[in-house]
Every structure is written in C-alpha cells, then in structure tokens.
Amino acid sequence: MSFKLGLTGSIGMGKSTTAKMFADAGCAVWDADAAVHRLYARGGGAVEPIRAILPAAIIDEAVSRTELRKLISQDSSVLKQLEQIVHPLVALDRAGFEDAATTEILVFDIPLLFEGNGHREMDAIACVTVSPELQKERVLARGTMSAAQFEQLRAKQMPNHEKCAKSDFVIETDTLDQTRAQVLNILNTIREQLDDA
C-alpha cells in the first residue's frame, strides 16, 4: 500500500512548482487540473456527456472552458450539472493512477481538496502558503486575470489560514530553495513513519 499525500493550496501559492519537486524526489504525482484537461480535450471522456446537456460548450470537438464559464455565469444550475458529469470521471482517472503507481508515496495535487472533502481519503495533507501580497503579485504577473477577478476567486476558496490549520504539513513557498528543503523534510518524515509501521 502506498502512502497518499494530498497537496493543496490556493491559487498563486506555488502548488504546481511544489508538486514538481515531489515528482523530482521520486513520488508519483496525480494532478486534478491535468485530469480535467484530459477529460475536456478532443476525444476526452467528458466531451460527449457535456455535449448532451450543453452543446454550446463544445468547440472543435473539445470542451471550451471559456464557453463553460459563460454558461455558468448565465445559469448557476449549470455548474451542478457539470460537476455530476466531471467528478465521477475525475475519480476514475485518479483510481487508474493509483492502480498503476508503483512508488511508496503518491502525491495528489488537488486545489479544492478540503472543499471537495477529498482530504478524507488521504493519509496526510500538505498545504502550500505565501503571504496574501505575494500570492496576489504572482497571480497578476501571469496576466490571465484582473485584480477584481482574482479577489472574486480568492473569496470563493476556503481561507488560506483555515487550509493550513487543517493540514499535517505547511510548506512556505517564498523561495525555491526553501520550498525544496521542506519537501525533502516531509518525505523523510513520511518515510520514517512507513519504516516504523
């Protein structure tokens, strides 16, 4: 049995960079966002079920996130319908990853781990964090959303201090070296637990 480590954190906190460090250290990493991208891509498992209820969301035989956002903003019930299609498909993708993985520690990169109750299926949780100022600076530097959109998104997510309080490990991602050192410490702690078991 592999050890399941949930990796979470709000937008701009450095989760993707941290997940790569876990992968570089020999962990198998499953990325929830990447799974959704696979499902939405041409030939992906979510395309036909979504076409059946939201034909306008399908462009060039793939699910358009831009169209989905428009549809959701026009009708709040769309999100619920979408979740009923996508969540079971994501769960299947994750189960396939677990079945195929051979490493002793599996890392599950899931942004809304607590919000979706996924934390209950993990052996431990690591949460990435930075100051609210640095978080905002990082997100706005990407150039993909305005300050107002960022504040709207942040308001919808569980507050960062709550995520940190509920986690077994907190990773401060101010610098790459600091982050890498914390990742290696966490892996050493988990491996010691596994050796003692």
Name which of 12, 9, 7 is nearest 145 in CA terms.
12
Contact (Cβ atoms closer than 8 angstroms) between residue 135 and residue 13: yes
Residue 27 confidence (pLDDT): 96
Per the structure, the complete domain to which residue 13 belongs is given by: 1-27+105-197
CA distance 184 to 67: 41
In this structure, are 38 and 83 located in the same domain? yes
Q: Are residues 111 and 21 in the same domain?
A: yes
Residue by residue, pLDDT tens for the chain (197 residues) are 789 999 999 889 999 999 999 999 999 999 999 999 999 999 999 999 999 999 999 999 999 999 998 898 898 889 889 989 999 999 999 999 999 999 999 999 998 899 888 999 999 999 999 999 999 999 999 988 888 888 888 887 889 999 999 999 999 999 999 999 999 999 999 999 988 87
Whether residue 139 sits in one domain with residue 55: no
Q: What is the CATH number of the domain that holds 193?
A: 3.40.50.300
Give the span between the Cα atoms of 81 and 86, in whole angstroms: 9
Q: Is 48 helix (H, G, I), strand (E, B) or coil?
A: helix
- Residues recorded for the chain: 197
- Contact status, residue 168 vs residue 123, Cβ threshold 8 Å: no
Indicate whether this model's pTM tops 0.75: yes
* pLDDT given for residue 24 in this prediction: 97
- Distance, CA of 2 to CA of 142 (rounded, Å): 35
Assess whether 139 and 193 both reside in one domain: yes
Give the strand pairing for 58-59 and 62-63: antiparallel
Domain shared by 21 and 109, yes or no: yes
